[in-house]
Chain A
Amino acid sequence: MRTMSIRRIWLLVWKEFTQLLRDRSMIPLIFIMPVVQLVLFGYVIGTDVKDLRTAFLDHDGTTASQQVIDGFASSGYFVSVARPTDDAGVRRALDGNVAQVAVIIPSGFGDMVSRGQATQLSVIVDGSDAKTASVAQGYAGSIVADLSGKLYPRPGVKPGAAAPVGLDARVRVLFNPTMRAVNTMVPALLAFILMMSTQNLISQSIVKERERGTLEQLFVTPIGRAEYLIGKLLPYVAVAITQILIVFTVGTLWFKVPFAGSVAVLGVGLGLFMITALGQGMLISLMSRTRYQAQQANVFLMVPSMMLSGFVFPLSSMPAVLIPLTYLIPLRYVLVIVRSNFVKGSGFMDLWPQFLAMIIFSVAIFGLGLTRFQKRLSD
């Protein structure tokens, strides 16, 4: 058994870095990719749905109906874009993608309200855009409930007061009181970008050596297999850490995401995840003969990770059949770790089940990658 030589490892790292830097468009990409993703995910997913284009059809034309329209328009969630005069006009507005929501106030609305009788207005939402539809329904519900309190004043209850009757519900949102989506998107992106780039770059780099036959050349030199692996992985670890630092810095400084957690918890969580991602990269490289195939495999793995981890779509609304599958996705666990730590400051004690899962995943996947890789090399 030869002893490992730091010098040989260092030379390999140097070679790998030089190769990476030779590809002149690669360097900007390594730095630009995280920022582009951060901006897209931060702004597109992070922006609350507001300003829904709304058509108001007022059959009534009284102060009460005007109050309803004002109630919707002043909420900030609905913007009046059309005032059709009949039902056909409403259909045209929705068919033609002019409006996303229509509010129809029936005739006689004002009379019913002044007599204190129950009334109903119609809200139509465009179901071809599901997110908008579901958000619009939620907003419309609370605006109508508010309006109900204003239009039907009850003795002893101030109009527009938070609790009209019976119950005094105090809803408090903890940890992220303004409910900014960016606050949870940025921590999640730390893990997601780490996975994307580590897995991608390492698999491409190993496959490239095989494509070009330079792997054999390396092995007739005194370099050992362990030295080769360490030298190969280290540069990508460095790249991953750089990208994480970029996301962290831009996230906390530009997007003003508060960091309530501890660097230690975050570091250990992401470290375990990086080992998993390196293992996945090695496994991909073993399954692919060309870089092109490796790329396909990366995209292939990315989609389920995105969909089934709770990264953008909440796990609680997923059908029960798919839930068991989500437990197989390492990203699922690390997302709980980074989000809870970032937003709530949860520590090792609170997150031990997730950390345990991450340890199992990293040992299993990295171990599998390593042994398969060793076997392939000695064949």
Chain B
Amino acid sequence: MRRILAIARKEFLHIIRDKRTLIAVLAMPLLQLFLFAYAVSFDVKDIPTAVLDQDQSALSRQYVSALQQSNYFKITQNLTAMNQVDAVFERSEDTAVVILPPGFGDTIVSGRPGPVQVLIDGSEPNSAQLGQAYATGLSRIYGIRVAVTQAETRGASTPAGGLSALVRVWYNPEGSSSAYLVPGLIVLLLTITTVQQTANTLVREKEQGTYEQLVVSPIRRIELMVGKVMPWAAIAALQVIVISGIGLLVFGIPFRGSVGLFAVSSVLFVICALGLGLVVSARASSIETANQMAMMISFLPAFMLSGFVFPLSSIPPVLQFVSYLFPGRYFMVITRTIFLKGGGLDVLWPEIAGLAIYAVVMLVLSSLLYRERA
């Protein structure tokens, strides 16, 4: 035990002496937290749109203002001729162009459907898909309104019916992006720091030649391993507390579940991440490879395969399988469910069991690798 503490103390001193790393470890999570919480949004609104109104009638202007007021489209320029449309897209000035052909108003007045052409730049599919849905929806709403007004003015009875949907968003009714991002960021930031840092520790000792010195000392390998990761475990715990604290206090996100369950699963997750880092550290041949490998197994899976921002329901089966090989996927469900839904062990037992098994496997694997390598 004393030997473990001595190693931990040595490691801690290394970290504290290295001011730049210390700043990176402490400041980077905060920077990322604020950047993500403010920058990421999936509500596609204010799609930059150019309008070509060839009709210039009262009805066409009414349509354009309906478009403007919908919040989904932001009209940035009015075109005057058809030949300007190509340039708009080729210069990537706008994502959508709405064209109202001459005779738009007259057609509607005569009781036939008024033709509208909406061109959408497909080179940004995220906006393109939703823009398409909005444009169609908006045209329908507007169309129904026009039809009703016309029928009323003609004094005819119209079928007033129609199906509409009342959409409610549970767990995050205001649609605040920080509410789902902060719990997710805990997973991402923990993975980046812990895996990356522990991946570096052992390789560095080897490159600097201090590893031999440690090996000839009376210290046992398992003690070395535990001592090395202890400071990082402490920093990880600190990060969880700081990020959750900022989430609750600054961003006002809810915490509906049990603190105890959250603490237990965080500990399990940190063990998994530390284990991954140790495995990399034992396998990598140099600091550069350790860094690249850590990047490949920490950042990328935590960002892409955890369900952090990209839904996993429709990715190919092979990648589904791969996503279960990284601890982020389990922990992501846990943090979101605990923070936002208030779910307990009855709901989360499969994920927590998954993390526990993962942690045990990682510990065994890394201690085996260490023994073999030493």
What are 24 of the A-B contact pairs (CB < 8 Å)? Answer: A32-B296, A36-B296, A43-B315, A118-B163, A123-B166, A123-B168, A127-B180, A128-B179, A137-B169, A139-B133, A141-B133, A167-B108, A169-B139, A170-B115, A171-B135, A175-B121, A179-B132, A180-B125, A295-B196, A299-B299, A304-B31, A307-B40, A313-B39, A339-B123
- Does A241 sit at the interface, judged by CB under 8 A? no
Asked whether any CB of chain A lies closer than 8 Å to the CB of B373, the reply is no
A113 within 8 A of B: yes
CA distance A47 to B48 in the complex (A): 24
- Asked if residues A350 and B87 are in contact (CB atoms below 8 Å), the reply is yes
Q: Which of A133-191 contact B (CB under 8 A)?
A: 133-135, 137-142, 144-145, 147-148, 151-152, 154, 163-181, 183-184
Contacts of B89 in A (CB 8 A): 174-175, 344
Q: Which residues of B contact A53 (CB under 8 A)?
A: 313
B307 contact set on A, CB distance < 8 A? 129
Chain B contacts for A313, CB-based, 8 A: 39-42
Interface extent on B, as a size class? 35 or more
B372 within 8 A of A: no
Asked if A127 and B170 make an inter-chain contact with CB atoms under 8 angstroms apart, the answer reads: yes
Within 8 A of A (CB), among B182-201: 183, 192, 196, 200
Task: Report yes or no: B180 in contact with A293, Cβ–Cβ below 8 A.
Answer: no
Contacting residues, chain B, for A142 (C-beta < 8 A): 133, 136-137
Would you list the 4 A-B pairs with minimal beta carbon distance, nearest first?
A176-B122, A166-B143, A127-B172, A169-B139
- Tell me whether B343 and A95 are in contact (CB under 8 A): yes
Q: How far is the CB of A187 from chain B (nearest CB, A)?
A: 9
Q: Are A29 and B289 in contact (CB under 8 A)?
A: yes
Contacts A141-B137, A316-B44; is A121 near B163 (CB within 8 Å)? yes
B130 and A184 contact, CB distance less than 8 A: no
Asked whether A166 lies within 8 Å of B142 as measured between CB atoms, the reply is yes
Assess whether A122 is interfacial by the CB under 8 Å rule. Answer: yes
Assess the A169–B136 pair: CB atoms within 8 A.
yes
Chain A: which residue is nearest B181 at the CB level?
A130
Asked if residues A169 and B333 are in contact (CB atoms below 8 Å), the reply is no
Are A300 and B44 in contact, with the CB atoms below 8 A?
A: no
A126 to B337, CA, bound (A): 11
Of A32, A122, A297, which one neighbours B24 at CB under 8 angstroms? Answer: A297
Chain A 325-338: CB-based contact to B (< 8 A → 1; otherwise 0): 00000000000100
A296 at the interface (CB under 8 A from B): yes
B168 to chain A, nearest CB (A): 5
Q: What is the size, in residues, of chain A's interface with B at 8 Å between Cβ atoms?
A: 123
- Evaluate contact between A131 and B44: CB separation under 8 angstroms: no
State whether A40 touches B347 (Cβ < 8 A). no
Task: Say yes or no for A52: interface residue by CB 8 A criterion.
Answer: yes
Q: B155 near A: Cβ within 8 Å?
A: no
For B115, the closest partner residue in chain A by CB is A168
Q: Which residues of B contact A170 (CB under 8 A)?
A: 115-118
Identify the stretch in B212-220, B280-288, B357-365 within 8 Å (CB) of chain A at 4 or more residues: B280-288
- Interface residue? B144 (CB, 8 A): yes
A204 at interface, CB cutoff 8 A: yes
Expressed in whole angstroms, the Cα–Cα distance for A172 and B116 within the complex equals 11
The answer to whether A47 and B166 touch across the interface, beta carbons within 8 angstroms, is no
A339 to B35, CA, bound (A): 24
Given A127-B171, A313-B41, A317-B42, A184-B124 contact (CB < 8 Å): yes
Which residues of A sit under 8 angstroms from B336, Cβ to Cβ? 128-129
CB distance A163 to B337 under 8 Å?
A: no
A361 to chain B, nearest CB (A): 18
Complex CA distance for A316 and B39, rounded to whole angstroms: 11
Interface assignment of A88: CB less than 8 Å from any CB of chain B: no
Q: Check if B120 is an interface residue, CB within 8 A of chain A.
A: yes
Beyond A44-B305, A128-B172, A176-B125, is A97–B35 a contact (Cβ under 8 Å)? no
Known: A44-B305, A293-B18. Contact between A303 and B47, CB under 8 A?
no
Give every chain B residue within 8 A of A137 (Cβ-Cβ).
167, 169
Q: Does A226 contact B (CB under 8 A)?
A: no
Tell me the complex Cα distance, A343–B122, Å. 9
Please state if A177 and B39 are interface contacts (CB–CB under 8 Å). Answer: no
Interface locus among A232-240, A284-292, A369-377: A284-292
- Is B126 close to A, CB under 8 A? yes
Nearest CB in chain B to that of A292: its residue: B200
| CB-defined contacts of A128 to chain B, threshold 8 Å | 171-172, 179-180, 183, 336-337, 340-341
Contact across chains for B120 and A44 when beta carbons are under 8 A apart: no
Name the one of B31, B122, B147 contacting A175, with C-beta atoms under 8 angstroms. B122
Q: A121-B163, A318-B39 are in contact. Are A145 and B177 (CB under 8 A)?
A: no
